[in-house]
Amino acid sequence: MKKMAEETKCACGSANVAIFPCVGAANVGQLSNKIAIELEKQGIGNLMCTVGIGARAPGLMKSAESSDRIMTIDGCPVNCATKTMELAGFRVDRQIVISDLGIKKTKDRDLKDEEVAEVLGKVLEILQSE
């Protein structure tokens, strides 16, 4: 797995990637957070607190400013994570929208491991193709 993370890091163009997930109430928001956690575990980037950016928390703002690249993982086309970053003055370098990956938005937040693994695979494919 280490090799995959290194390859993905290169595809992202930087090792200092900040990942800001949606973490919304629907399944796709919860998936965005799970995917962000998995990307951090694989060394692809650093999971950050999106709501802290909305609150303009000084430490989080500084962390985002010091990142080489900013990636958002939105659950759906409402794009809350991306809009939060843009409203705070940040340029989003890469946006992933979970519902664009064939996942239907529902209120079912009981995520299955297979579903998380499938979406993670799709996200890794996207990142490696950059």
Q: What is the CATH number of the domain that holds 110?
A: 3.40.50
Q: How many domains does the chain have?
A: 1
At 17-47, the pLDDT tens digits run 999 999 999 999 999 999 999 999 999 999 9
| Cα–Cα nearest to 123, from 83, 94, 90 | 94
Residue 74's domain comprises 2-128
At 69-96, the pLDDT tens digits run 999 999 999 999 999 999 999 999 999 9
As a whole number of angstroms, the distance between CA 117 and CA 51 comes to 25
